[in-house]
Amino acid sequence: MKLIYQQMLAFFAVIMTTLLIVGLFFIQFTNKMVYETTWDQLEGYADSLMQQAMTVDKRTNTFTGFQVSMLSNSEAVLSQQKVHFAIFSDKNKMIYPLTDGRGPVMARQLTKADWQKLKQGKRIYCKSDHGTNVLNNQQEMTDVLVPYFYNGDLKAVISVGSLVSNVHANITKIEHNLFMALLISSVAAVIMSFLLAKYQVLRINRLRGAAHKVAKGDFDVKIDAKHHDELDDLAIDFNQMTTSLRESEDEIKRQEDRRRQFMADAAHEMRTPLTTINGLLEGLQYDAIPEDMRGKSIELMQNETKRLIRIVNENLDYEKIRTNQISLSKRNFDGTEALKNIVMQLTNKSNNANNDLILTPGPSVQVYADYDRFVQVMFNVIQNAIQFTQGGTITITAKHGYHETIFTVQDTGIGMSAEQVQNIWERYYKADPSRKNTKYGESGLGLAIVHQLVQLHGGEIKVDSKENVGTTFTISFPDQVASQETTPDAVESKKD
Ligand SMILES: Nc1ncnc2c1ncn2[C@@H]1O[C@H](COP(=O)(O)OP(=O)(O)OP(=O)(O)O)[C@@H](O)[C@H]1O
Ligand SMILES: [Mg+2]
């Protein structure tokens, strides 16, 4: 069944049930009200009849009876309104109307139980009762029995009754009106439930339409939502979802572009050494290389092979770190000493670029890390600084902070723009693509690996850079205590 019909049915059922319950209560209430009003009226008649027709001997202060003429006058008037009455003596003898067979007698027969109640001064209200024959028709009556006392003694009981058909006529009129109201309400309920259902379904369809667009790859769809209800919340979630999808699609695209670029770079990178090696091998095979150049050729081939191995290894290394497949064997060691070694290894490269490579002197600083990985991190960052600085200064510092060891590598090189800084941790990223194929390789993997390694240590790496001014990398490694508090699993659970 379509949602709109389900909703309509639900709304309609709720409205109709409410209407029916209210209607039933209303009918019951009016029924009671009509009877009570009739009884009030009949009681009024009974009281006035008694007051008018009762006769009392003033001298002896005793009740003497009723004025029959007065009663028959009243009877004539009341019968016009289809109201009948009868008076009984305290001995349950009908004293009015006199049953001489001329007129109708409309009074219920009083039972023993009735008398008991009446003697206690209680009034009796009867909803319906079979009266005696009226114009040969059996008619139902509703009546009130009122006892009358004089000087504390029950003197008479008056029974005043009206035809039930009179009462019912009023009730039927009200019921008819109610039925009409119910009919109109039902039509209104159908229209209302249709409009309500339509509104809800429209909102759902809006979401459906948007979901279809997303399924077709359009992630720019947005739905208006105002935080009113759950459907609005759903729309907001949907908008967030499309934003995330758009972002991840962009990210996938960027990654894909970079991967493609890297593949092209790697192919290019590999082709050069492979061509060189191939040429040299052919030269050797056909004795085209003079004897004194053979040693040099083999050395060249070795260098080119190393370069190839480096590219392959870096890729493998990155994947291993990324998938947590490496284990760190952390220990405390002298960080300054390790830096001195790195500086020694890189001084040559630095000199080639006319740079000053300075390790600021100071007390030796202890660091808690995996020695080889620490060297790898610092080597990469310092090598980058040399690589992107010409005729400048590279300053390295080491100090102990609060539960951490902090290293900075500052250069006065080409620097980076804010956008470039954002991307440097990504694999294959090179801020300046034209600077590929340098002697340092430049696969764009160095910092991606560094970042992963520092994170794996529970440390932090930050960069501050300004174009044509320089770059500062700040790397911190937590101390043993802090490291075990924050990343207990990062160290121990990483197993090959
Ligand atoms: N000190 C620096 N000054 C300016 N730019 C830098 C610096 N360090 C890194 N970069 C930029 O960040 C990019 C990424 O550096 P990363 O070390 O990851 O790759 P790479 O040095 O190009 O290649 P390799 O994989 O050989 O290290 C660099 O290509 C460069 O554009
Ligand atoms: Mg690098």
The pLDDT value given to residue 403: 92
In the prediction, which pLDDT does 330 show? 94
> What percent of the chain has pLDDT above 90?
37
Domain of 134: which CATH number? 3.30.450.20
Share of the chain above pLDDT 70, in %: 89
443 lines ligand 1 (CB under 6 A): yes
Banded pLDDT at 488 (limits 50, 70, 90): very low
Closest CA to 395 of 309, 474, 280: 474
- Cα-Cα end-to-end distance for the chain: 57
Q: What's the CA-to-centroid distance between 373 and ligand 1, angstroms?
A: 18
Same domain, 259 and 338: no
Ligand 1 pocket residue status of 427, Cβ below 6 Å: no
- Please give the C-alpha separations between residue 208 and each of 213, 222, 236, 247, 476, in angstroms, as whole numbers: 9, 12, 14, 22, 50
- Ligand 1 within 6 A of CB of 440: yes
Is residue 269 in contact with ligand 1, taking CB distance under 6 Å? no
163 lines ligand 1 (CB under 6 A): no
Residue 327 φ/ψ, nearest 5 degrees: -115, 140
- Single-letter amino acid, residue 8: M
Return the closest-CA partner of residue 305 out of 277, 284, 265, 275. Answer: 277
> Which ligand has its closest atom nearest to the C-alpha of 425?
1
- In the predicted model, what is the mean pLDDT of residues 100-115? 66
Same-domain status, 383 and 410: yes
> Any idea which residue has 């067979």 for tokens?
101
Give the per-residue pLDDT at 175.
87
Mean pLDDT, the chain, whole residue set: 85
Q: Tell me, using a 6 A CB cutoff, whether residue 471 lines ligand 1.
A: yes
Within-domain flag for 386: yes
Q: What is the pLDDT of residue 492?
A: 40
Strand-strand pairing, 124-130 and 140-150: antiparallel
Name the token pair of 103: 């007129």
Asked if residue 270 lies in contact with residue 311, where contact means CB atoms within 8 angstroms, the answer is yes
Q: How many angstroms separate the Cα of 461 from the Cα of each of 90, 408, 468?
A: 113, 10, 22
Q: Helices 371-387 & 446-456, crossing angle to 10 degrees?
A: 140
Q: Which residue has the tokens 């990654």?
A: 255
Q: HSE-up of 95 (CA within 13 Å, CB side)? A: 18
**Last residue in a domain, options 150, 170, 190:** 170
Check residue 109 and report its DSSP letter. P
| Nearest ligand, measured from the Cα of 442 | 1
CA 300 to ligand 1 center in whole angstroms:
26
Atom 2 (ligand 1): residue with closest C-alpha? 385
Count of structural domains within the chain? 3
The domain containing residue 120 runs over which residues?
3-170
**What distance in Å separates the CA atoms of residue 377 and residue 364, rounded to the nearest whole number?**
19
Q: Are residues 14 and 147 in the same domain?
A: yes
- Residue 189 belongs to a domain: no
Position in ligand 1 atom list of the atom nearest CA 415 = 4
pLDDT over 90 (residue 80): no
Name the band, by pLDDT with cuts 50, 70 and 90, for residue 325: confident
Q: Given ligand 1 and candidates 386, 424, 451, which is best to mutate, with the most ligand atoms within 8 Å of its CB?
A: 424
Model pLDDT for residues 220-237, shown as the tens digit of each residue = 999 888 878 888 889 999
- Closest C-alpha to ligand 1, atom 19: 444
**Is 413 near ligand 1, meaning CB less than 6 Å away?**
yes
Neighbour count for residue 492 (Cβ, 10 Å): 12
* End-of-domain residue from the set 105, 139, 170: 170
Protein residue with least CA distance to atom 4, ligand 1: 415
- Establish whether residue 432 lines the binding site of ligand 1, counting it when its CB lies within 6 angstroms of any ligand atom: yes
Per-residue pLDDT, 71 = 86
Confidence of residue 99 (pLDDT cuts 50, 70, 90): low
Alpha carbon distance 47, 143 (integer Å): 14
Ligand 1: atom nearest CA of 435 is: 29
CA distance 174 to 370: 94
Q: Is the CB of 85 under 6 A from ligand 1?
A: no
Residue 200 has pLDDT above 90, yes or no: no
Residue 135 is predicted with a pLDDT of: 40
Q: 259 and 381: one domain?
A: no
Predicted confidence (pLDDT) at residue 309 exceeds the cutoff of 50: yes
Examine the domain organization and report whether 130 and 114 are in the same domain: yes
Q: How far is the CA of 151 from the centre of ligand 1 (A)?
A: 122
Q: What share of the chain is helix, strand, coil (3-state, %, to 5)?
A: 55, 20, 25
441 lines ligand 1 (CB under 6 A): yes
Would you say residue 379 lies in a domain? yes
Q: Is 424 in the pocket of ligand 1 (CB under 6 A)?
A: yes
Q: Which pLDDT score is estimated for 130?
A: 52
Ligand 1 atom nearest residue 444's Cα: 19
What 3 state SS string does 352-400 have? HCCCEEEECCCCCCEEEEEHHHHHHHHHHHHHHHHHCCCCCEEEEEEEE
- Structure token digits, residue 45: 């008649």
Ligand 1 atom at minimal distance to the Cα of residue 414: 4
3-state secondary structure of 137: strand
Q: How far is the CA of 445 from the centre of ligand 2 (A)?
A: 7
Q: Which range has highest mean pLDDT (76-80, 199-203, 318-322, 386-390)?
A: 386-390
Instruction: Judge whether 217 lies within some domain.
Output: no
Give the orientation angle of helix 164-215 with respect to helix 3-53, to 10 degrees: 160
Ligand 1 and 407: CB distance under 6 A: no
Are 17 and 111 part of one and the same domain?
Answer: yes
pLDDT tens per residue across span 138-185: 577 788 999 998 888 888 899 898 888 878 888 888 889 989 988 998
Is the pLDDT at 460 greater than 60, yes or no? yes
Q: Is 383 close to ligand 1, i.e. is its CB under 6 Å away?
A: no
Strands (E), 79-152: 83-89, 94-96, 124-130, 140-150
* In-domain check, residue 219: no
Q: Domain boundary residue among 319, 341, 369? A: 319
Does 361 fall in a domain?
yes
Ligand 2 midpoint to CA 302 (Å) = 22
Q: Which ligand has the minimum distance to the alpha carbon of residue 465?
A: 1
* 446 Cβ inside 6 Å of ligand 1: yes
HSE-up of residue 315 (Cα within 13 Å, Cβ side): 12
78 Cα distance to chain centroid: 72
User: Could you tell me if residue 215 is inside a domain?
Assistant: no
Same domain, 350 and 480: yes
Please say if the pLDDT value at position 440 is more than 60: no
Check if 416 has its Cβ closer than 6 Å to any atom of ligand 1: yes
Q: What is the mean pLDDT of residues 400-416?
A: 95
The band of 107, judged by pLDDT with boundaries at 50, 70 and 90, is low
pLDDT of residue 352: 93
User: Which residue is listed with tokens 């208006």?
Assistant: 224
CA of 356 to the centre of ligand 2 (A): 18
Lowest mean pLDDT among 12-21, 183-192, 241-250, 304-313: 304-313
Average pLDDT over residues 42-66: 87
Q: How many residues does the chain have?
A: 496
Residues in contact with 53: Cβ distance below 8 Å, sequence separation at least 6, in sequence order: 66, 67, 68, 70, 71, 74
Q: Domain check: are 364 and 304 in the same one? A: no
Domain with residue 431: its CATH number is 3.30.565.10
Same domain for 43 and 150, yes or no, is: yes
Beta bridge partners of 434: none
Q: Is 372 in the pocket of ligand 1 (CB under 6 A)?
A: no
Average pLDDT over residues 194-213: 90
Looking at the structure, do residues 397 and 480 belong to the same domain, yes or no? yes
Q: Is residue 184 part of a domain?
A: no
pLDDT (0 to 100) of residue 346: 93
CA-wise closest residue to 308 among 435, 443, 427, 436 = 443
Q: In this structure, how many other beta carbons lie within 10 angstroms of the beta carbon of residue 205?
A: 12
Q: How far apart are CA 70 and CA 51, in angstroms?
A: 11
Let me know whether 153 and 96 are in one domain.
yes
Q: Is the pLDDT of residue 103 over 60?
A: no
**What is the pLDDT at residue 442?**
63
pLDDT at 105 over 80: no
Cα–Cα nearest to 150, from 256, 58, 277:
58
Asked if the model's pLDDT at residue 195 lies above 70, the reply is: yes
CB of 431 within 6 A of ligand 1: the answer is yes
| Distance from the alpha carbon of residue 266 to the mean position of ligand 1, in angstroms | 16
Where are the extended beta strands (E) located within 269-354? 330-334
Distance (Å) from CA 387 to ligand 2 centroid: 8
Q: Flag whether pLDDT at 11 surpasses 80.
A: yes
Residue 114's contacts (CB-CB under 8 Å, 6 or more residues apart) are 124, 145
CA separation (Å) from 151 to 53, 118, 154? 17, 16, 9
Are the CB atoms for 489 and 359 separated by under 8 Å? Answer: no
